[in-house]
Structure 1
Amino acid sequence: MATTLEDRAGPRLWTPARHRSFRLLWAGQSLSLLGDGFSVVAFSWITLSLTGSTLTLGYVLAFQAVPRALLTLVGGSLTGTWSARTLMVASSWTRAALMAAVGLAGLSGDLTVWALCLAAAAFGTVDAFFQPARVSILPSVVEKDLLTPANALLGAGSRVAAVAGPAVGGVVIAMSDAPVAFLVDAVCFALCGLFVARVRTLPRPPAPPAAPADGAEAGKPAATSLGARIREGVVYTWRDPRLRTIVVFDTAVNFCYAGPFTVGFATLADQVLRGGSATLGVLNGSLAGGAMLGTLAGGLMGGRPRVGLLIAGLAGWLAAGMALLGLVHSTPAVVLTVLAMGFAIGFQGVFGVSWIQRNIPEDVLSRVISVDMVLGYAAAPLSLIVCGALARTGTFAMFGGVALVLAVTGLAVLASRPVRAMR
Structure 2
Amino acid sequence: MKGLFNNRKFILLWLAQAASGLGSTFSTFALSWLVYKMTGSKVAMGSVWVAFMLPNIIIQMFAGPYLDRWERKKVMIFSEWFRASAFLIPIILYPMGQLETWHLYLVSVATGIAQPLFAPSSMAYVADILPKDKLMKGNSILEGTGQIMMLLGPSLGGLLITAFGVEYVLLFLLISLGLSGLLLMLNPSSKNSTIVKRESWFVQFREGLQFYRVYPVLFWVGIMMMFINTSYGAAQPMFLPYVLDDLGGTAFQYGLFTSAFSFGMFAGSLLTGIQEQPKNRKRVMLRSLFLNGLLFLGLAWTPFYWVALILSFGQGLFAIIFNINNTTLYQQRVPDHLRGRVFSVRILLAQAGIPIGAALGSFIAETFSISILLLVLGCLICLTTIICFLNPMFNNLNDNNVAKWDVSEVEKSL
Q: Same fold (TM over 0.5)?
A: yes
Show the counterpart of 1:37: 25
State the alpha-carbon separation in 2 of the partners of residues 393 and 174 from structure 1: 29
Alignment size in residue pairs = 384
SS state at 2:67 partner:
helix
Pairing partner for 1:119 from 99, 103, 107: 107
State the alpha-carbon separation in 1 of the partners of residues 209 and 338 from structure 2: 17
State the alpha-carbon separation in 2 of the partners of residues 239 and 177 from structure 1: 53
Show the counterpart of 2:383: 404
2:265 counterpart of 1:294: no
Show the counterpart of 2:232: 257
Q: Give the counterpart letter for 2:269 in structure 1.
A: T
State the alpha-carbon separation in 2 of the partners of residues 394 and 120 from structure 1: 24
Q: How does 1:128-143 map to 2 (within 5 A)?
A: 128-134=116-122
- Say whether the 8 Å CA contact 2:294–2:378 is kept in structure 1: yes
Show the counterpart of 1:28: 16
- Say whether the 8 Å CA contact 1:92–1:193 is kept in structure 2: yes
State the alpha-carbon separation in 2 of the partners of residues 105 and 390 from structure 1: 32
State the alpha-carbon separation in 2 of the partners of residues 139 and 245 from structure 1: 34
- Say whether the 8 Å CA contact 2:242–2:370 is kept in structure 1: yes
Show the counterpart of 2:75: 87
Q: Give the counterpart letter for 1:160 in structure 2.
A: I
Q: What whole-Å deviation, never above 9, does each CA across 1:153-210 have from its counterpart, x for those lacking one?
A: 5554334323433333343344445444333212211233344563887999997x87
Q: C-alpha displacement at 1:309, in angstroms? A: 5.9
Q: What whole-Å deviation, never above 9, does each CA across 1:317-355 have from its counterpart, x for those lacking one?
A: 221442466489787988666544422433454576588
Pairing partner for 1:317 from 288, 295, 298: 288
TM norm structure 1 = 0.65
Alignment CA distance shift 1:334-1:179 (3 Å): closer
Pairing partner for 2:357 from 371, 375, 383: 383
2:61 counterpart of 1:96: no
2:230 counterpart of 1:238: no
- Say whether the 8 Å CA contact 1:390–1:397 is kept in structure 2: no
Q: What whole-Å deviation, never above 9, does each CA across 1:17-49 have from its counterpart, x for those lacking one?
A: 668466555543343232122223333444566
Show the counterpart of 2:146: 158
Q: C-alpha displacement at 1:140, in angstroms? A: 6.0
Question: Which deviates more from structure 2 when the two are superposed, residues 353-362 or residues 321-330?
Answer: 353-362
- Say whether the 8 Å CA contact 2:155–2:255 is kept in structure 1: no
Q: How does 1:205-284 map to 2 (within 5 A)?
A: 229-241=200-212, 244=219, 247-248=222-223, 250-259=225-234, 276-277=248-249, 284=258
Pairing partner for 2:160 from 162, 172, 177: 172
- Say whether the 8 Å CA contact 2:151–2:263 is kept in structure 1: no
Q: What whole-Å deviation, never above 9, does each CA across 1:244-290 have from its counterpart, x for those lacking one?
A: 5775565354234344677699879998xxx6548987765543222
Show the counterpart of 2:406: none
SS state at 2:87 partner:
helix
State the alpha-carbon separation in 2 of the partners of residues 124 and 286 from structure 1: 24
Alignment CA distance shift 1:311-1:90 (3 Å): farther
Alignment CA distance shift 1:100-1:173 (3 Å): same
Q: Give the counterpart letter for 1:254 in structure 2.
A: N
SS state at 2:70 partner:
coil
Pairing partner for 1:421 from 379, 401, 406: 401
Alignment CA distance shift 1:52-1:390 (3 Å): closer
Percent identity between matched residues is 18
Alignment CA distance shift 1:292-1:406 (3 Å): same
5+ residue gaps, structure 1: 1-13, 211-221, 223-228
State the alpha-carbon separation in 1 of the partners of residues 164 and 286 from structure 2: 44
Show the counterpart of 1:73: 61
5+ residue gaps, structure 2: 404-414
Q: C-alpha displacement at 1:231, in angstroms? A: 0.1
- Say whether the 8 Å CA contact 1:22–1:199 is kept in structure 2: no
Alignment CA distance shift 1:48-1:254 (3 Å): closer
Question: Which deviates more from structure 2 when the two are superposed, residues 381-390 or residues 89-98?
Answer: 381-390
State the alpha-carbon separation in 2 of the partners of residues 398 and 200 from structure 1: 47
State the alpha-carbon separation in 2 of the partners of residues 353 and 313 from structure 1: 13
Alignment CA distance shift 1:356-1:81 (3 Å): farther
Show the counterpart of 1:181: 169
State the alpha-carbon separation in 2 of the partners of residues 349 and 292 from structure 1: 12
State the alpha-carbon separation in 2 of the partners of residues 312 and 144 from structure 1: 37
Q: C-alpha displacement at 1:402, in angstroms? A: 0.8
State the alpha-carbon separation in 1 of the partners of residues 231 and 16 from structure 2: 30
- Say whether the 8 Å CA contact 2:295–2:314 is kept in structure 1: no
